[in-house]
């Protein structure tokens, strides 16, 4: 049995605040595509593109990376067409914390020659606000909903997981473990023991698939992935952003309100590929891979390195229709590399 087809437990078969990624720069979906050409509609995904993650069937392997596509704001801007032509095969929420958060002081973004440093600081309405305001809207999307959560304390993650696990609208949970445990000072996802203890606490609380989002800011990422698998994670996702810094050109002081931030985009793609390759060698649960993906070819590289799904993040700020374009490009690449059965037989 491949990792992708492994049944889930229970045997089921800011991003930038309210800003829509790229909205205003380019209309969705007609201005999508690198050359401005409209990509084919996402629901035209060929049948051979369908994939399964932990028992959840998806029409293609491209999802959004947490915090980089605001589906609620996008729906306000683009209307129902966003729902009928949703660019991703599942929607991953930005990180939800137990208490509401304002996020970091501005400035929150620094543009790199090939990517971004963000210091958004996880602004969100908190769990209660999410359940009351966001969940009903996100449940109307035509794709499964994966909710990304983070706690500053194991008990916070326990609350987040147990409350969201009771909601039928939620298909799976992604645990963002890039945060220090206030009790120990250790970043939960940087230490295999911390990661295992977190999973030990939350695994018994839910039958929904648990995806552990690994931090690349760890000395031994495969060891953390293995600890997550052994403690019952259904999948891992990687990479989150790498810690980076920019200085104000005039004052020489840190530019970002949060002092440091997370580096993403094309600059991190080679790192993502290496980390996915190393994690694939360590675990056999599915991998959701991300980091600098801006084309179907990049997505195929991560799938070849062992990913089941690929998430698109920073690229959606440049091209809000990137998800459907990359899904179409990936399907074309896959058909070229290994023609689907019908075509082979027909030949
Ligand atoms: C503006 C911005 C906001 C992000 N917010 C979150 C978040 O809320 N939760 C999370 O787990 N990752 C967050 N990320 C990290 C992305 O999900 C992704 O792991 C990372 O950006 C690498 O992918 P990319 O290079 O395609 O952007 C954010 C990234 C960016 C650029």
Catalytic residue among 131, 179, 221, 279: 179
Indicate which atom in ligand 1 lies nearest the CA of residue 269. Answer: 25
Question: Residue 54 catalytic?
Answer: no
Q: Whose CA is nearest to atom 22 of ligand 1?
A: 291
With a 6 Å cutoff on the Cβ, whether 16 touches ligand 1 is yes
CATH fourth-level superfamily of 3-334: Aldolase class I (3.20.20.70)
Give the whole-angstrom CA distance, residue 92 versus residue 148: 7
Question: Strand, helix or coil at 311?
Answer: strand
Exposure of 74 in the CB half-sphere (CA atoms within 13 A)? 32
Distance 344 CA to ligand 1 centre (A): 39
With a 6 Å cutoff on the Cβ, whether 241 touches ligand 1 is yes
With a 6 Å cutoff on the Cβ, whether 66 touches ligand 1 is yes
- pLDDT at site 186: 76
Average pLDDT over residues 108-128: 96
Lowest mean pLDDT among 44-48, 80-84, 148-152, 189-193: 44-48
Indicate which atom in ligand 1 lies nearest the CA of residue 315. Answer: 26
pLDDT in tens, 224-268: 999 999 999 999 999 999 999 999 999 999 999 999 999 999 999
Residue 61 has pLDDT above 70, yes or no: yes
Distance 192 CA to ligand 1 centre (A): 22
Closest-CA residue to 263 (of 116, 69, 113, 66): 116
With a 6 Å cutoff on the Cβ, whether 299 touches ligand 1 is no
With a 6 Å cutoff on the Cβ, whether 308 touches ligand 1 is no
Give the whole-angstrom CA distance, residue 142 versus residue 164: 19
Ligand 1 test: best mutation among 313, 316, 323, most atoms within 8 Å of CB? Answer: 313
DSSP code per residue over 173-198? EEEE--SB-TTT-SBGGGSHHHHHHH
- pLDDT at site 295: 98
Contact indicator for 47, 343 with CB cutoff of 8 Å: no
- pLDDT at site 44: 56
pLDDT in tens, 4-34: 333 333 333 333 333 334 333 323 232 223 2
Residue 341 has pLDDT above 90, yes or no: no
Q: Whose CA is nearest to atom 23 of ligand 1?
A: 291
Distance 109 CA to ligand 1 centre (A): 12
Which residue ranges make up each domain of the chain? 3-334
Q: Whose CA is nearest to atom 12 of ligand 1?
A: 66
Lowest mean pLDDT among 162-176, 183-197, 212-226: 183-197
With a 6 Å cutoff on the Cβ, whether 45 touches ligand 1 is no
């Amino acid at each position: 049995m491949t990792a992708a087809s492994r049944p889930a437990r229970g045997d089921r078969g800011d991003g930038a605040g309210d800003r829509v990624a790229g909205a205003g720069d380019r209309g969705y979906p007609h201005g999508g595509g690198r050359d401005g050409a409209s990509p084919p509609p996402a629901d035209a995904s060929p049948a051979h593109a369908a994939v399964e993650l932990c028992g959840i069937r998806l029409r293609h392997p491209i999802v959004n990376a947490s915090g980089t596509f605001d589906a609620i704001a996008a729906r306000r801007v683009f209307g129902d067409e966003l729902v009928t032509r949703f660019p991703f095969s599942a929607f991953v929420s930005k990180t939800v914390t137990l208490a509401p958060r304002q996020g970091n002081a501005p400035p929150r973004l620094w543009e790199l020659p090939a990517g971004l440093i963000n210091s958004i600081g996880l602004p969100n309405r908190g769990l209660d606000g999410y359940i009351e305001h966001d969940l009903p809207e996100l449940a109307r999307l035509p794709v499964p909903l994966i909710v990304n959560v983070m706690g500053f304390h194991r008990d916070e993650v326990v609350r987040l997981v147990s409350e969201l696990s009771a909601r039928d609208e939620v298909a799976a949970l992604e645990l963002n473990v890039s945060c220090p445990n206030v009790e120990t000072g250790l970043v939960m996802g940087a230490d295999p023991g911390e990661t295992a203890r977190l999973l030990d606490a939350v695994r018994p609380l839910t039958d929904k698939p648990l995806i552990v989002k690994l931090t690349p800011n760890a000395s031994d990422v495969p060891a953390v992935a293995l600890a997550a698998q052994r403690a019952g994670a259904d999948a891992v996702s990687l990479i989150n952003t790498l810690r980076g810094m920019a200085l104000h050109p005039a004052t020489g002081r840190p530019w970002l309100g949060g002092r440091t931030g997370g580096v993403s985009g094309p600059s991190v793609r080679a790192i993502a590929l290496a980390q996915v390759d190393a994690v694939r060698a360590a675990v056999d649960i599915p991998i959701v891979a991300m980091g600098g993906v801006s084309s179907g070819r990049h997505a195929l590289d991560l799938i070849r390195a062992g990913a089941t799904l690929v998430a698109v993040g920073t690229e959606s700020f440049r091209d809000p229709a990137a998800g459907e374009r990359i899904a179409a490009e990936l399907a074309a690449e896959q058909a070229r590399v290994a023609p689907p059965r019908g075509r082979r037989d027909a030949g």
